[in-house]
Amino acid sequence: MSALVICASKHHGNTRKVADRIGDVLNASVLTPSEVTPDRIDAADVVGFGSGVYWMAFEPDLVRLVRGLTAKPRGTAFVYATSGLPETPLRRYTRDLAGLLTDAGFQVVPEVFHCRGLDTMGPFGLVGGMNKGRPSATDLAAADAFARRLLAQEG
């Protein structure tokens, strides 16, 4: 199985830590949206798409990459993210990204990996941020377990 992990991690490297852990388990390269090409995506059996969450949305470069993919049959995709706050029923950004991946032709894994990360956006920066020390060793162990479940599913 060939795997690729695409990661947009801008502020504190939270999401990159998660992507690196998942990439280690899957023996996958971890690339930014600007480093990856559609051919590289198409060559992988499993592709992860993730970023930090900014104002209840994935990083725009990641979303542009996915929107720019021509619809055609592709392999498996999974979604992962880090955020300061949990996803709310009012703004299901992980479901939105999964829908775009389905439209691009991927079979999307129903399980999403999502953990907290240091958040200094907006008013949180005034108090030194929230979720200091996250993703933690426990979060990274959960990312490892998530990737192992992906491996088991892909067999």
| pLDDT value, residue 129 | 56
List the chain domain ranges.
3-154
Superfamily of domain 3-154: Flavodoxin domain (3.40.50.360)
> Between 74 and 52, where is the model more confident?
74
Residues 6+ apart with CB under 8 A from 27: 3
Residue 58 bridge partners (DSSP):
53
Task: State the residue for tokens 């990737």.
Answer: 147
Which tens digits make up the pLDDT trace of 145-154? 999 999 888 7
Mean pLDDT over the full length of the chain: 86
**Burial of residue 90, with CB atoms counted within 10 A of its CB: 0-12 exposed, 13-18 middle, 19 or more buried:** exposed
Q: What is the per-residue pLDDT across 14-72, written as a single tens digit (0 to 9) for each?
A: 889 999 999 999 999 999 999 999 999 999 999 999 988 877 778 999 999 999 999 99
Three-state secondary structure call for residue 1: coil
Q: Count how many residues are written for the chain.
A: 155
Q: How far is CA 17 from CA 53, 105, 144, in A?
A: 15, 28, 11
Does residue 120 have a pLDDT over 80? Answer: no
Could you give the residue ranges of the DSSP H alpha helices within 49-136?
60-67, 93-103
